[in-house]
Structures are given as C-alpha cells and as structure tokens.
Amino acid sequence: MEYKNTKAKRDTVTRDMRQFERGTDNTFETIAIIAKRANQIGSDIKEELNGKLAEFATSSDNLEEIFENREQIEISKFYEALPKPVSIATEEYLNDKIYFRNPAKEEGEAEASTTTEA
C-alpha cells in the first residue's frame, strides 16, 4: 500500500488556506473532498490491519492462555506509527493525487451552456 511510504507529516502542520482553494475555488468543498478521501484511506488501513491480525486469532476463549506474540505487537506498532488518514489525504490533495468531480456543478454548467445557446 502506498500509505506506508507517504511523506505526510505525523505532527500538526500549519497550512496556508489558499492552497486548499486550488481546484475547487471553495475551501469547504476541498475539506469535504479531503474528508471523503481520509475515510477511504482509514477503511483501507483498517481492513489491511484486521487481515494481518486475523492470522493471530485463537479459536479458544480461555482467558488463562493470554500470551504476547512479538510479531503481532510489531505489526500493531507499525500501524500506530503511520500518519493519520487525514494527513495522508491532505498531502495527496496538495500534490494533485486525488481525482474528484462535482456532478452538481457539471450539471449546472451544462444547463447554463444550453440556455445561452438558445
């Protein structure tokens, strides 16, 4: 997955809000796009992590047999150290790696062009 090699920051970063208006001319629309992409990334990461951790699942429900699995701990630590999905999505947006479209705008532009042609 490309999320492992991302250059997104793990810390809080101060951003220039004008960068978020590129492409949409609307900061709020941009934030909605980033939020939707962050949800996709979060779901992908969660699915991948659950798949890897499912290999360590035991079929017995005996609480006395709790033991530490070194590999499982390392996998969990790796995923905890990844940047948050919002940071990854923001970095993707700022690097023009997100494809987005607004059907309502496209429909409005199509209607405007047909009314001006008539």
Percentage above 70 pLDDT, the chain = 76
pTM: 0.75
Mean pLDDT (whole number) for 92-96: 89
* List of E strands, 13-116: none
For 33, counting Cβ atoms within 10 Å of its Cβ (0-12 exposed, 13-18 middle, 19+ buried), the class is buried
What does the radius of gyration of the chain's CA atoms come to, in whole angstroms?
21
Return the SS3 of 100: coil
Q: What is the pLDDT of residues 8-47, one digit of tens each?
A: 777 778 888 888 888 888 889 999 999 999 999 999 999 9
88 vs 104, more confident: 88
Cβ pair 33, 24 in contact under 8 A: yes
